[in-house]
Each structure stands twice: as C-alpha cells, then as structure tokens.
Amino acid sequence: MTAQRRELSGWSRGIALILLLAAALVPAGAQAATSERVVTDRYTGLAISGFDPVAYFTEGRPTLGQPDFEMSEEGTVWRFRNEGNRASFAAHPDIYGPQFGGYDPVDVARGVAFAGNPRLWLITGERLYLFGREETRDAFAAAPTKYLPGARKRWPGVQDILAK
C-alpha cells in the first residue's frame, strides 16, 4: 500500500469513527422531526411518538395511544388510550399537550429546538414537559423556575426557526 493510500485509509477510518460516535450520541427517541412545531415522529407522523399526552396525568406514566382513538389538532395526529382521554385533550390541548411542543425546555431556554423523548418526562405546575436527555430532566426537576422564564421568552423565536 502506498503512503498516499495509507493516508486516505486513515482518513476513512477517522470519518467512520466520527459518524459512529455521532450516531451513538443521538438519543433513542430522537427520531422526531425538528422542523415541526410539535415533536412528530418522522416515520409515523404521530405527535410524541404516539404516546397519549393525557395518560401522563391520569396513569402517571407514558402510555401508547390506540389507532382507534386518534385526533388531528392543527395538522398534528395525536393518539389516546381511550375516548375519555381524547375528549379531555380536545377540550384542553393547552393543558394536556406537552409544553413547548414536546421540545426539551432546558434547550428551548438556550434557544435550541431539541426533540423531547416521550419516555423522559416530568409534570411540573400541572403541565407536561418532555426532555431529550436525563441530565436536562434532572436539572429542570431540581429548579424549574431557573429554566421556565428563559424557555417562555425564547419559545416564539424557536417556533419561528421550526416553521422555516
């Protein structure tokens, strides 16, 4: 093997390693699109990967919704566990829907749209928040008032970026 081919081979391995590391850093729930105002699974088109947003409040855990109990709200398809949950969401989407469209509020406070994972969640102040990483959920849980003002302030700008 010539010196030039050895050098190229080294570059190829380096690039492959970087790509492998980047793929490993993407959380399992990060299949969601980041060009949407609500975190939507790019493969299924479902908001928050088909989890029932009302079930976080009623069941105290993430629960997948059923295809029989779907509704579309502002172009986003939501699934619910039962008719009662669907009716509750229809009456109060601002209460039951994940805040900041399901994007991580700690990242929104920094002006960044990072898709929340429906399995990394927290209810604070009677509102549902989804997080992209355990570290941000833990930081938010320890001091939500540290992040919420900044997230509320920056959310309109983040929405503008998402709309493009």
How confident is the model over 100-154, as pLDDT tens digits?
999 999 999 999 999 999 999 999 999 999 999 999 999 999 999 999 999 999 9
- Going by pLDDT thresholds of 50, 70 and 90, the confidence category of residue 8 is very low
- Does the residue 39 lie in any domain? no
Task: Indicate whether 36 belongs to any domain.
Answer: no
Distance CA 83, CA 66 (A): 10
Lowest-pLDDT range of 2-6, 34-38, 81-85, 146-150: 2-6
Q: Is residue 8 part of a domain?
A: no
Domain range for residue 115?
48-163
**Coil/strand/helix, residue 52:** coil
Within 10 angstroms of residue 52's Cβ, the number of other Cβ atoms is: 26
Structural domain count, the chain: 1
Asked if 155 and 108 count as a contact pair (C-beta separation under 8 A), the reply is: yes
2 located within any domain? no
- More confident site: 76 or 146: 146
pTM for this model (two decimals): 0.77
Structure confidence at residue 49 as a pLDDT band (50, 70, 90) = very high
Evaluate whether residue 17 is within a structural domain: no
Positive/negative CA dihedral, 16, 22, 24, 26: negative
Asked whether residue 60 is assigned to any structural domain, the reply reads yes
Quick one: pLDDT at residue 13? Answer: 54
Q: Given this model, what pLDDT does residue 17 score?
A: 42
Supply 145's token pair.
């008032």
**Is 78 part of a structural domain of the chain?**
yes
Residue 45's pLDDT is 86
pLDDT of residue 48: 95
Give pLDDT, residue 37. Answer: 81
Residues 41, 44, 47, CA angle at the centre, nearest 5°? 45
pLDDT value of position 112: 93
pLDDT at residue 10, as a whole number = 53
For the CA atoms of 99, 136, 35, 67, what is the dihedral angle to 10 degrees? -60
Do residues 144 and 128 lie in contact, with contact meaning Cβ atoms separated by under 8 Å? no
Hey, is 55 helix, strand or coil?
helix
Mean pLDDT of 50-71: 97
